[in-house]
Amino acid sequence: MAEQAATDLRVIDAETSGLRSIASDFSSDRQAFRNVSWGKAMMWIFLLSDTFVFSCFLISYMTARMSTTVPWPNTSEVFALTIGGTSLPLILIAIMTFVLISSSGTMAMAVNFGYRRDRKRTAILMLATALLGATFVGMQAFEWTKLIHEGVRPWTNPWGAAQFGSSFFMITGFHGTHVTFGVIFLLVIARKVWRGDFDHERRGFFTSRKGRYESVEIMGLYWHFVDLVWVFIFAFFYLW
């Protein structure tokens, strides 16, 4: 009798949708998320953890901004560029944001072509994504240089609360590091795609595991995440 219930539970087919399918996935054996590969599951959970990291950074920055006794510098002036005699507030950041969001587009296309096993296009689109990412980091380096020339340091700046420089370098630096790692991995995976590793099941250099086109998608998850985080940094640090 008890066993009857057990088998019934298992009979629930994969077609059921919504909450019931979640429940049946979770009560199934072997996998809680059916047809989600190990790599993808790992990336999702890593991103959840990383979300906590960025949230802590952003909340800490907001706390610092509220606790400091000196006024906060006006970001639209600080981050303005003078082009052709007119001062354009946040122009560089706007371009950077545009570049990064576009790179999410090329990434999404790369994933699509990856699953069609279109090696060439996938690789090219990934390279394009990497290039856009590198451009973003380059512009960030330009921004850092400009601010450093103007006297902004982690511990001080000419316009107001010292925490401005501290938070700026820390948060954009941490995000920039994420983008940089993303670019490196994009290049590595693009090379694998180009060489046809995923078609010939060539084993990885470190892990000695066979690669699959899914790597492109997993890479994409990370990349979209980094872009999304930037939107929050943009909103909370630059626009506020």
Q: Is position 166 an interface residue for other proteins (rule: CB under 8 A)?
A: yes
CB environment 218-240: b (16+ within 10 A), e (fewer): bbbbbbbbbbebbeebbebbbee
In the list 20, 22, 23, 34, the residue contacting other proteins (rule: CB under 8 A) is 34
Q: Is position 110 an interface residue for other proteins (rule: CB under 8 A)?
A: no
CB environment 10-22: b (16+ within 10 A), e (fewer): eeeeeeeeeeeee
**Closer of 19 and 206 to other proteins (Cβ):** 206
Spatial distance between the Cα atoms of 210 and 88, rounded to a whole number of angstroms: 50
Q: Is position 4 an interface residue for other proteins (rule: CB under 8 A)?
A: yes
Per the CB < 8 A criterion, the answer to whether 237 and 171 are in contact is: yes
Q: Is position 19 an interface residue for other proteins (rule: CB under 8 A)?
A: no
Tokens representing 237 are: 């640090």
Q: Is position 69 an interface residue for other proteins (rule: CB under 8 A)?
A: yes
Give, for 2, the enclosing helix (H) or strand (E).
helix 2-11
N-to-C CA span, the chain: 63
In the list 17, 19, 85, 206, the residue contacting other proteins (rule: CB under 8 A) is 206
In the list 22, 23, 56, 184, the residue contacting other proteins (rule: CB under 8 A) is 56
Q: Is position 42 an interface residue for other proteins (rule: CB under 8 A)?
A: yes
Name the residues that contact other proteins, by CB under 8 A.
1-7, 9-10, 14, 26-38, 41-42, 45-46, 48-50, 52-53, 55-57, 60, 63-64, 67-70, 153-155, 161-163, 165-166, 170, 174, 206-210
